[in-house]
Amino acid sequence: MILHIDMDAFYAAIEQRDQPKLRGKPVVVGGGSGRGVVAAASYEAREYGIHSAMPGRRAAQLCPHAIFVRGRIDQYAKVGRQVREIFHRFTPLVQPLSLDEAFLDVTGSRRLHGDALKIGRTIKQAIKDELDLTASVGVAPLKFVAKIASDLDKPDGFVQVPSDGVIAFLDPLPTSRLWGVGRVGQQRLQRLGIHKIGDIRVRDIHDLKQKFGSWGEHLWRLANGIDPRKVVPDRTAKQISHERTFGDDLSDIDMLRAVVSHLCEQVSRRLRRSKRHAKTVTLKYRREDFKTFSRSSTLSSPTDSTNQLLQAALELLDEMRQRQPRPV
């Protein structure tokens, strides 16, 4: 079984933990200059519609009394290491997605630590007791199902999907729960009468491929509980990646550059943590019509430097904006 563990409002929760006066208040990490981008928002701030990657100016409009704090990435990375240390007490098969979330394969840990439910609850309690933070946990036989499960009851959630209950779990959920389905994608699916994941499952795969290309086939496979991807620790992965699907299509180059910068930070941090270097940088880019493009750049020498990866990624972004200027 696979666990997906997602720290709740991680950056903002750390600020509220370290500064008790911030508890219960709408806290926004980053974006304080007005031109900056929100890195994280507490659940109190999210009630006003504030979310990560939003311009700070917009966040201030939505919640004028929000408290903006400067990000402390070194502190977040330190706490992230403490969280991962807890994970590794139970399994060596830990695949981080970022500082605040990871997949764990606990199949081989049953004899030593109990079943997946027990392990998930033990990890969740250890994070609370040792770090004074909360996490949401999804338990499922497939990676993407575990991720969906961890999102369903946030914050402080715990959702299990049994091996024989994947389809029953997925069918009634909105299509937006699937990886890669943003607001525009959801609207396009709805125009075809597709509102729930179960609606995708019963459609003809060839029809979806004809309308949406490889993206349609990908959605059909997920809706039918087909996901062969394994939990792969960074130390053995052939590639390390990070991606983001936007709620609204983006055209603003400054916003796109800010997002690429964030993705490069996440990837380079995982490279350094796993003591690895990369020589090829690839940028994947999906237009608003769901056509996906990718471009790669090979560096002169392997690196784990955020700046070097970012420089290559921004060059690829500029090139792709010239070739494909439509919204992303």
Backbone angles phi, psi at 52, to 5 degrees: -65, 150
Give me the catalytic one of 15, 44, 47, 101: 101
Amino acid at 260: V
**Calpha distance 158→64 (Å, rounded):** 33
**Calpha distance 211→62 (Å, rounded):** 37
Sign of the torsion formed by the C-alpha atoms of 248, 251, 252 and 258: positive
Amino acid at 321: R
Tokens 């609370």 locate to 128
Q: What is the DSSP string of 113-175?
A: H--HHHHHHHHHHHHHHHHS--EEEEEESSHHHHHHHHHHT-SS-EEE--GGGHHHHHTTSBG
Residue 264 half-sphere exposure toward CB, CA atoms < 13 A: 25
Whether the bond into 172 is cis, omega within 30 of 0:
no
**Calpha distance 85→178 (Å, rounded):** 29
130 catalytic residue (yes or no) = no
Question: Which residues are marked as active site?
Answer: 101
